[in-house]
Amino acid sequence: MFLFKLFRRAIAFLLLLVIVVPLFALGKTWFAANNPTIRNGDVIVVLGAAQLDGRPGLVLEARLTEAKRIYDLGLAKKIITVGGGAPGDRTTEAAAGRVWLMQNGVKYADLKAVEVGRDTLSSTKAYAAEMRDRKIKNVIIVTDPLHCLRSMTMANDRGLIATCSPVQGGPNALEKSGFKYLIREAGAYLAYITLGRHGVRISDRLPSDNILNKVTP
């Protein structure tokens, strides 16, 4: 009888974990997306998304637009664009982002393209290394609202002090992000904090809404 009660309690505990832990991740991801806290930083980092032959896709353009907005507000004096290229690409996400920002009024001297990374973790490692070389720690990450929690967590784990300025427009703006995106990000966050932190390689691709390769006319 004692073993049966112990077994029943163990099953109940596991079921509780299966329910509570995902709900916790969903709530935390949603809260971070809806309650961004932005403060002055040493640098703005624009996380990469698809580009087409040097022209930012709609998701990347929305991130660049937000980076330019907070740069103009004086929240940081430097911008780092990050992101590599897909097989066959003639350029990279970071390079395309840097060109767009220069064309839209950001000084060349205030820009750095870190042309590495095809997922959130590899991109974070790349720009964190750049920031360590510059001996700076405070970063404002620009990405999609539901991607803020995971991107800030990865940055903080690498010794940075991260806040997130989520996009206000584009296909992945908060009002256009569906429940599928929330579930995906909550799952990716859980995978990172339970496995990724312990060296298990879990690659992702930044969310696309299936239109990353579209560009504005």
pTM score > 0.85 for this model? yes
Q: What is the model's pLDDT at position 9?
A: 63
Q: What is the model's pLDDT at position 2?
A: 55
Q: What is the model's pLDDT at position 217?
A: 42
Pairwise CA distance, residues 172 & 89, whole Å: 24
From the CB of residue 61, how many other CB atoms can be counted at a distance below 10 Å? 23
Q: What is the model's pLDDT at position 89?
A: 84
Both tokens of 185, joined, read: 């990000």
From the CB of residue 179, how many other CB atoms can be counted at a distance below 10 Å? 8
The β-bridge partners of 139 are: 43, 162
Domains of the chain: 2-198 (3.40.50.620)
First-last CA distance in the chain? 72
Q: What is the model's pLDDT at position 216?
A: 46
Decide the pairing of beta strands 55-56 and 51-52. antiparallel
Q: What is the model's pLDDT at position 86?
A: 82
Which residues, at least 6 apart from 63, have a Cβ–Cβ distance to it below 8 Å?
A: 46, 47, 49, 97, 142, 143, 144, 167, 170
The list of the chain residues with pLDDT below 70 reads: 1-18, 202-217
- Overall size of the chain counted in residues: 217
